[in-house]
Amino acid sequence: MAPLKIHEADNVAVLLEDVKAGAVLEAAGTQLIALESIDKGHKIALTTLTQGEAVIKYGFPIGHATTTIPAGSWVHTHNVRTNLGDVLEYDYQPAPLLVPSADCRLSFQGYRRENGRAGVRNEVWIIPTVSCVNRTAQLLAKWANEELAPAASIDGVFEYTHPYGCSQLGEDHAATQSILSALVNHPNAGAVLVLGLGCENNNIAEFKKVLGEVDDKRVKFLVAQEFSDEFAAGQAILKDLVEYAGQYKRTECSARDLVIGLKCGGSDGFSGITGNPLVGAFSDRLVACGGSSVLTEVPEMFGAETLLMNRAKNKVVFEKIVALINNFKAYFASYHQPVYENPSPGNKKGGITTLEEKSLGCTQKGGRSIVSDVLQYGQAVSTRGLNLLNGPGNDAVATTALAAAGCQIVLFTTGRGTPLGTAVPTVKIATNSDLFQYKANWMDFDAGAILTGKPLESVTDELSQFILAVASGQQTKAEKMGFREIAIFKNGVTL
């Protein structure tokens, strides 16, 4: 297959298959001779690039040449460097916004909750307030799945353990409370047991202040130190919660009831060509139908942030995006870390050279929709449309933050592969067909068909139907394998 020139302004192309030195290639009407062997997913120079010249991909600079790069050469970390700097000033320059059309008759079979929200699973969750009772939560969930769940109309009982809840101060303590309280209120949970120890910083009395008013039939509390046999007490409570959750039945829900998280991890050179544009196309359809999507991984917006800023709904949202970007850069600087050291070894092996390149691919998951709002870490979606969420690129932390934001499903594109699953169904989208076939026990959907010429619109149709099937109860590979975990952002001291 010929190398792919993504944008007419690009001076590099992406190889769709491995090439050997001396191979004659046809790229965008230009004949090239590969001067060296280059792996698929990596970039080849379409013209000779002089030292200091911008390397253009996706129509934007992804860095600059550190030496002369002859046409036909491999373009990567050995001859390209980032252009990224620290905190910047930005101007609001609203771009013409294209609002895509979509078939908004799409629906799924979900669980309508008392507060009007829709869940895609009907699970009972055990949320520990502190790590000291993690094992207690695990044993209670195991017992409930063996003794109660088989005869009940629920999708299982699951505990979400974490290492925090005590010995934390300030923002870390508040972050733990906000994430846990958001999970307690998640619509995928038909009922919740909040399990505390009794002497922790995040004790149940304090946690209730953050949690606010809850339905006492849906959410129950247990302080382990207050019972001689906390297992017997927990089992009795779980019997009531399983019975309560079992009353919910699937009913038809509109696509506008969906809140979908957008995430990538283990990205490769194809992520910005297949998986991420595909997810962006789905996101645009969902937003057009009145649903919501949430894009996080703030460090992976660096270098592409102006594309999001210029799609802000108004000046207020623009200022929120500026603060989102610059505050995260300031966080890096406070630890004397450069903002551009993001592409992982796996990213680089897959063909990604700089953070700008990664970001220009990453942000495509947000499609072309207007940015409606910016959420702080632990905050839930309140404005329909595309939302940006404050959070890191780390897979476990970011997917947890998406779940806490109210996402019922997370779409996770990957070119390297990962078994990770979070508290909500996590759909793994392979950016290349080789990965989809090789890791069939991890991958749910193959975006690699786009590389063979299958139209994006057609693949988006298929992905839409798959997501609606998952929303209606079809399990993801991570769910089948039992991969469910949460991780909470930490920034400060541990006592």
φ, ψ for residue 43, nearest 5 deg:
-105, 145
Q: Note the pLDDT of residue 306.
A: 94
Q: Note the pLDDT of residue 96.
A: 79
Instruction: Encode pLDDT of 437-485 as tens digits.
Output: 999 999 999 999 999 999 999 999 999 999 999 999 999 999 999 999 9
Residue 86 has pLDDT above 90, yes or no: no
Helix axes 456-471, 275-288, angle to 10 degrees: 70
- Which CATH number, 2.60.120.260, 2.30.30.220, 2.30.130.110, 3.30.365.10, labels domain 12-81? 2.30.130.110
What topology is assigned to 123-247 in CATH?
Ribose 5-phosphate Isomerase B; Chain: A, (3.40.1400)
Lowest mean pLDDT among 94-108, 132-146, 224-238: 94-108
Tokens found for residue 351 = 């063909």
Average pLDDT over residues 226-247: 98
The residue with tokens 């190889």 is 15
HSE toward the beta carbon, residue 42, CA cutoff 13 A: 23
Tokens found for residue 322 = 């500026």
164 in Cβ contact with 488 (< 8 Å): yes
φ, ψ for residue 261, nearest 5 deg:
-85, 145
What contacts 50, CB < 8 A, 6 or more positions away?
A: 65, 68
d(Cα 170, Cα 181) in Å, to the nearest integer?
17
Q: What residue type is assigned to position 376 of the chain?
A: Q
Residue 341 has pLDDT above 80, yes or no: no
The residue with tokens 């959070």 is 391
Average pLDDT over residues 288-292: 95
Q: Note the pLDDT of residue 117.
A: 98
The pTM of the full predicted model, rounded to 2 decimals, is 0.95
Q: Note the pLDDT of residue 377.
A: 98
Share of the chain above pLDDT 70, in %: 99
Residue 85 has pLDDT above 90, yes or no: no
Q: Note the pLDDT of residue 100.
A: 66
Instruction: Encode pLDDT of 87-122 as tens digits.
Output: 778 988 888 776 666 778 889 999 999 999 999 999
φ, ψ for residue 24, nearest 5 deg:
-95, 125
Lowest mean pLDDT among 76-85, 102-111, 201-210, 378-387: 102-111
Q: Return the closest-CA partner of residue 361 out of 393, 391, 385.
A: 393
Q: Note the pLDDT of residue 95.
A: 84
Cα 326–Cα 344–Cα 174 angle in degrees, nearest 5: 45
Cα 446–Cα 343–Cα 356 angle in degrees, nearest 5: 90
Q: Over the chain, what is the mean pLDDT?
A: 96
Q: Note the pLDDT of residue 106.
A: 86
* Higher local confidence (pLDDT), 344 or 477: 477
Q: What residue type is assigned to position 163 of the chain?
A: P
